[in-house]
Amino acid sequence: MLKIVVYFAAALMLGGAARADITALLDTSRPPYLSAEGRADYARFLLQPTPRAFALAPDGAWGWAAAIEDDPAATEARAVENCARWGGQGCRIYARDLAVVWPGLEARAPAAPAGPITGGPGWMLAPDGRFLWQGPERARGAYVWAHGRSPGGADSRGSQPQPHVRAFNNAGYDVIRFDRDPATDETEAGAAWMRDALRELRRRGYARVVVGGQSRGAWNALQALDTPGLADAVIAIAPAAHGPRGSPAHAWALDDLRRIVAQARNTGARVAVANFAGDEFDPDPDQRAAILGALTGRVAGFLMLDRPRGIQGHGGGADWRFTLRYAPCLLDFAEGRARGC
């Protein structure tokens, strides 16, 4: 966990009034009363989804909670309860979502823009207000998150990006959702929209662009590798575009994946892919891993997290173990500081 703290500090060296509130939230030395162990746990808290709350007590006890039934009040109550369970007397909330609320240390992060950045019929790029925001002039880069596509046609627009994205956000990346209307969200249409979205972020001046996603969103992110310069890094979590087992489209899923790899032209991109055991959307885990491995040498760097131990299913990227094991090293890899996790 010490590496996470280092990332935060390294990313926040630039000055400016707008960043001061961001620095306050991310500063692991700022919460009062905490031991070194408590500060390391606060760094883990900073990787959690919202709603989230961190509680502490004058006697040094602490506790936190995140995303309890997507209920802010229940999440906050659980954080205080967890602090008290560890012997804390007078536990109260230090940080709530993106704000420090401790009396005398209050700090609130600047709000993300309310409207979409760009879009078209069926899609839009939307700043996610559940993440810290700086804008293209100050941000280290942009992380574009693409949600999956439900086989039942459920609307995934507005869904919260997976927690590993927090490592990028805490290091200075703006988080922007690539939202698509399920009524028109076909695979090739989504890929075309993705290319347009990434071009627009380049035009707006983001120094680095990382594109990531889960399931169909991850598949579209990989498809964007056919165009040089669109993304500096791609993080594809359980990429899929052919439905679960039993779908007739599974017959050509591997051939389509081979085509994506063969068409990759963005030689400057670093690409990380995560596959999980027990993924019903994966037609053949061994073959898929081998096909994706052919990206080695075609792109600037390739990392395969192939069926990591203890993490199961198509939604494995949202597992807390995935976040704690791999979020920091995915950031490291995407920025070219490491070859693997």
Over residues 171-227, the pLDDT tens digits come to 999 999 999 999 999 999 999 999 999 999 999 999 999 999 999 999 999 999 999
Task: Report the pLDDT value the prediction gives residue 340, as an integer from 0 to 100.
Answer: 62
Whether the bond into 51 is cis, omega within 30 of 0: yes
Task: Report the pLDDT value the prediction gives residue 339, as an integer from 0 to 100.
Answer: 62
Task: Report the pLDDT value the prediction gives residue 308, as an integer from 0 to 100.
Answer: 96
CB atoms near residue 10 (< 10 Å): 11
Q: Please say whether the beta carbons of 51 and 42 come within 8 A.
A: no
Q: Please say whether the beta carbons of 184 and 122 come within 8 A.
A: yes
Helices 253-263, 285-293: crossing angle, 10 deg rounding: 10
Q: What's the distance, CA 283 to chain centroid? A: 25
Task: Report the pLDDT value the prediction gives residue 18, as an integer from 0 to 100.
Answer: 30
Q: Tokens 């979020």 label which residue?
A: 327
Give CA–CA dist 139/8, Å, rounded.
13
What residue spans of the chain are helical by DSSP H?
A: 2-11, 17-26, 36-45, 72-85, 165-170, 187-203, 216-223, 253-263, 285-293, 320-334
DSSP string, 307-333: S-TT-BSTTGGGSHHHHHHHHHHHHHH
Give CA–CA dist 204/117, Å, rounded.
10
Helices and strands in the chain: count of H runs, count of E runs: 10, 13
Task: Report the pLDDT value the prediction gives residue 5, as an integer from 0 to 100.
Answer: 33
Could you tell me the domains of the chain? 2-108 (no CATH), 118-334 (3.40.50.1820)
Sheet with 99-100, side-by-side order of all strands: 62-66, 52-56, 92-96, 99-100, 107-108
Note the pTM of the prediction, 2 decimals.
0.92
Low-confidence residues in the chain, pLDDT < 70: 1-20, 339-340
Task: Report the pLDDT value the prediction gives residue 341, as an integer from 0 to 100.
Answer: 74
